[in-house]
Amino acid sequence: MLRALMDRDRSFDGLFFAGITTTMIFCRPSCPAKKPKEEHVEFYATAREALFAGFRPCRRCHPLQDGQREPEWVARLVERVEADPSRRIRDAELREEGLDPAAVRRHFQKSHGMTFQAYCRARRLGNAFTAIRNGERIDDAVYGSGWESHSGFREAFAKAAELPPGAARDSDFIRLAWIDTPLGPMAAAATEEALCMLEFTDRRMLEAQLETLKRRFRMPLLPGESPLFEQLRMELSEYFDGRRESFDVPIEYPGTDFQRKVWEGLLRIPFGETRTYAALAASLGIPGAARAVGHANGLNRIAILIPCHRVINADGGLGGYGGGLWRKLRLLETERGNG
C-alpha cells in the first residue's frame, strides 16, 4: 500500500485510503498532493473508517466522491451532440454556459482519447458515412451532416475512414460510444451485428485495443449510436442493480485460436464464482499454461461480459486487472451480493 501511495498508482484507488497524521487528511492512493513520510501514514480499508479515526477528506483527490463518473456537464454536452450531430458547438457557446473550452478539451482528451471538437467532427463523419451507405448523394451527406465545404469533408473522411467517400457505399464501420456505469465511463464498440469491445476509458491499453479492432475487422472506427448500445446500457444497469447474471447482447471477439479458447473458458465461469489462472488452464486442457492463460486473459476486449475479473491468484489475491484492481474487487463484490 505504501508503494502504491508513493507511486500514485490509480489501480489501487478504492482498495484503501491513506490517512496523513501530520495534517489529519485522508486521500486516495493516486492523490497528486506531495507524499508524506512513511511514519506519518495510516491505512484504512474504507473512507468511513478514516472518517471515524478523525481524518477529513482531501480537497484535491476527493476520496468521498466516486471520482470515476463523468461530470454532469459532460453528459449534457454529449446529449446535445447526439440530439443533433450536425450542429456545431463553438467555444463561445461553451463560455456562455460557464465552461472553459480548454478544460473541456483536456477532459475529453483524457477520458475519451480525443478533444470535444474532434468528437463532434467524428460524429458528423459517422452520420455522413451512414448516409452514403444508405444511398444518399455525397453532396446531400456532406451538407446534411453539418460540413461547410467538400474539401474539408473529403480530407477528414479519408483520414478517419481510410477510404474516399464514394467507396463508403460498399463499406461498413465500427461504431464507438461511451457508456456510463457505476464504476466509471466505458468505451463500447460494435459492428452492425455484435458488440466487439467494452473497456474502461482510463485503461492504458485502450488505444492498442482500438487499433486491434481496426486490424481484425478491417473497418474504420467512428463515433455513432446503435441499438446494441441501448441494449448494453439496459443490461449493465440490471447487472449492477443485482437483477442480471448473464448478458444477451451479441458479442464478437476475434483473436488467435488460443485467445478465443481462453475467452470462451472465461464465459463458462459461473456468475458469483472465481477460478485461479491454473484452474482455468487445467479446465481448458492445458495444465501448466497458467502464465499464457493470464496473458490472454489480459487481452480480453469485452470487459464484464467476458468475465476476466473472475480469475484470481492461487493465494486468493486479486491478481491483475486492466481496469484497476479496485474495479475488479467491486465487480466480484457485486456478483457476491455485497455491491
CATH code of the domain covering residue 306: 1.10.10.10
Residue 123 inside a domain? The answer is: yes
Residue type, 312: I
Instruction: Produce one character per residue of 129-150: b if its CB has 16 or more CB atoms within 10 Å, e if not.
Output: bbbbeeebebeebbeebbbeee
Taking only the tens place, the pLDDT of each residue in 315-336 is: 888 888 888 888 898 899 899 8
Residue type, 299: L
- Report the C-alpha gap between 330 and 242 in whole angstroms: 13
Residue 308: active-site member? yes
The reply to whether 161 and 186 lie within a common domain is no
For the chain, how many structural domains are there in total? 4
Q: Sorting pLDDT into bands at 50, 70 and 90, what band is 189?
A: very high
The reply to whether 113 and 183 lie within a common domain is no
Residue 251 inside a domain? The answer is: no
- Report the C-alpha gap between 328 and 305 in whole angstroms: 13
Q: Which of 27, 31, 120, 196 is catalytic?
A: 27
The reply to whether 217 and 263 lie within a common domain is no
Give the structural domain span for 291.
Answer: 257-335
Q: Sorting pLDDT into bands at 50, 70 and 90, what band is 339?
A: very low
Residue 104 inside a domain? The answer is: yes
CB distance 327 to 185 below 8 Å: no
The reply to whether 142 and 127 lie within a common domain is yes
Mean of the per-residue pLDDT values of the chain: 82
* Residue at a domain's end among 139, 154, 169: 169
- Report the C-alpha gap between 333 and 329 in whole angstroms: 6
Residue 63 inside a domain? The answer is: no
Phi, psi of 181 (to 5 degrees): -135, 165
- Report the C-alpha gap between 299 and 145 in whole angstroms: 36
DSSP 8-state symbol, 39: G
Residue 27: active-site member? yes
More confident residue, 259 or 46: 259
Q: How many residues are recorded in the chain?
A: 339
Residues linked to residue 179 through DSSP beta bridges, in sequence order: 186
Q: Which of 31, 61, 196, 308 is catalytic?
A: 308
The reply to whether 91 and 165 lie within a common domain is yes
Cα–Cα nearest to 302, from 213, 215, 230: 213
More confident residue, 175 or 271: 271
Q: Sorting pLDDT into bands at 50, 70 and 90, what band is 107?
A: confident
Helices (H) and strands (E) in the chain, counts: 14, 10
> Is pLDDT at 145 greater than 60 in this prediction?
no
Predicted confidence at residue 66, as pLDDT, reads 55
